[in-house]
Each structure stands twice: as structure tokens, then as C-alpha cells.
């Protein structure tokens, strides 16, 4: 099978444990692209959070952002966008505030927060976007909220994840992207559905796609792609679901996969 497209998660996958892009990974990506492989980022990050990486990699392709809720070109043209239903967004924000959790959300590529503290600042540093305190979240919900994130200790987030589903509609998907982040998006937003749309854009079958990731938010695309690849440092459920396990994110695991594709080595 000649694979034509590879979708790669960023944190814990493309980047090492110090959130750095290793030089050998850059070389592998550029080599793969020069040989005709379409390389696409697939991340929970917003559009602003991938600009630097695209420049470093010198990649010009469509990216999956907000865990599948938005597809954007390298020129930041939005090809697809999926927002939470207003009632769902309002419920999620209200529930988070009632539980005294720090929360942030994205609307029109602007980062909003219920308070400015160490946790919301930590998230803004990851995304590269300073947060804005919101006043009327119901109005913002009516205009379209892409993603809501609750932030707390890993222990509290695990507890919230176990019970929050019974308070939400079945049109909401939620999962942890990092131990301290519980993310909420519309059910129509997933990395798998975004990959399906990528296939339509590029004229590529799912059997010709590779997905590489490490977290539970990567599970859908790993199960969707013709070749689902888990990093060695992946969540146990991701390791179990994958067709192939590559090296860790500190060992150029992404580059290892791309090099095999470029060199025509089977998996």
C-alpha cells in the first residue's frame, strides 16, 4: 500500500517531552513531503497554535485544529468549521462555573476565560494566545463557540469526566487532552471526521491515510485511518487500538514512520 497522507498530533507526538520539534523530525517531514507525502497537523490547538510549527516544517497543507472542529489551509482559510449548539455551550460553561472550575473557550478564534489565573495563563502559553475575560457567554454561544475547556488538577478532572456526561446532551463529545484539561466539542467534531473531509479535499481514500497520535483525542483518527499508529508513550487504549506502535516522542517516533513510508518499507 502506498500511503499518500499522514495526519500527526502535536503534543506528545510530533513534539518531544520538552515541547520541542527535533531537527531529525523536521528532516523526515521535509523529505516525506518532497517525495509527495501530504503531511497534515491534527491537533486540539487553535489556528494560532500551529503557525510556528508550520513555518518550521515548511509545510503547506490543510491542518486539523480544535480536535477536528476546524479545517484550515496554511493561509488560514477556513474550509470547515463546527461549533457547539448554543444550548450545549451554555450548559457546559454554566456547569463548569457552578463547580468553581477554571474554564476557557474559543469563539471566532478568540480565547475567552472566566478568570485570569495560573491555570488559564498556562493554557494561553501553550496556545500562544492571551485570554480575554468574557462577560456575556450566552451571546457568544449564540454566535458560535468552537470548544470549551475545563481546567483543574488531574484528579479533579478525572472525577468530572466520569460524571459530567449525565448532565449534557448526546450532541456533545468530551475527553481529556492533557491530564488537567477536559475538552468539550460538538459531536460532529472529531479528528476522524476531519480526516474523512481531508480525503474529500485531496481525493484520497482512508486506506491511503496514516494517523499518528498518543492521546484519547487521537483515538478516532487512529481507528479511522488505513494505518493507525500509536507513539510508544501513548495512553494504553491508544496502544491497544493501533495497527503499529512507533518509537516515543523523544525518539523521533513520527520521523521513524515517515521514513518507512518514504523508503517504501512495509508496516
Which amino acids are annotated catalytic?
9
142, 41, 51, 118 alpha-carbon torsion, rounded to 10°:
60
In degrees, to the nearest 5, what angle opens at C-alpha 104 toward C-alphas 99 and 106? 140
Distances in Å between the alpha carbon of 265 and those of 8, 27, 33, 256, 257?
A: 19, 18, 16, 11, 9
Distances in Å between the alpha carbon of 209 and those of 118, 220, 222?
A: 39, 13, 10
Coil, helix or strand for 36? coil
**8 Å CB contact between 218 and 9:** yes
What lies within 8 Å, CB to CB, of 56 at 6+ separation is 21, 26
Question: Rounded distance, CA 183 to CA 177, Å?
Answer: 7
DSSP strand pairing (110-113 vs 5-8): unpaired
Amino acid at each position: 500500500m502506498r500511503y499518500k497522507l499522514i495526519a500527526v498530533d502535536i503534543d506528545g507526538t510530533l513534539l518531544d517531552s520538552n515541547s520541542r520539534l527535533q531537527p531529525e523530525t523536521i528532516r523526515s517531514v521535509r523529505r516525506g513531503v518532497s517525495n509527495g507525502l501530504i503531511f497534515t497537523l491534527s491537533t486540539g490547538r487553535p489556528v494560532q497554535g500551529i503557525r510556528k510549527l508550520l513555518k518550521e516544517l515548511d509545510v503547506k497543507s490543510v491542518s486539523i485544529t480544535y480536535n477536528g472542529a476546524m479545517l484550515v489551509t496554511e493561509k488560514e482559510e477556513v474550509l470547515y468549521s463546527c461549533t457547539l449548539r448554543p444550548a450545549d455551550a451554555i450548559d457546559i460553561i454554566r456547569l463548569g462555573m457552578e463547580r468553581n472550575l477554571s474554564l476557557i473557550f474559543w469563539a471566532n478564534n478568540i480565547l475567552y476565560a472566566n478568570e485570569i489565573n495560573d491555570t488559564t495563563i498556562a493554557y494561553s502559553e501553550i496556545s500562544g494566545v492571551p485570554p480575554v475575560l468574557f462577560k456575556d457567554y450566552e451571546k457568544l454561544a449564540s454566535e458560535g463557540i468552537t470548544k470549551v475547556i475545563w481546567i483543574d488538577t488531574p484528579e479533579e478532572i478525572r472525577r468530572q469526566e466520569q460524571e459530567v456526561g449525565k448532565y449534557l446532551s448526546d450532541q456533545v463529545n468530551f475527553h481529556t487532552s492533557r491530564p488537567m484539561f477536559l475538552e468539550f466539542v460538538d459531536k460532529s467534531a472529531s479528528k476522524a471526521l476531519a480526516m474523512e473531509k481531508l480525503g474529500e479535499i485531496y481525493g484520497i481514500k482512508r486506506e491511503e491515510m496514516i494517523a499518528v497520535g498518543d492521546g484519547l483525542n487521537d483515538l478516532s483518527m487512529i481507528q479511522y485511518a488505513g494505518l493507525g499508529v500509536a507513539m510508544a508513550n501513548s495512553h494504553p487504549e491508544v496502544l491497544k487500538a493501533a495497527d503499529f506502535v512507533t518509537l516515543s516522542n523523544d525518539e523521533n517516533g513520527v520521523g521513524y514512520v515517515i521514513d518507512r513510508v518514504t523508503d517504501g518499507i512495509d508496516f
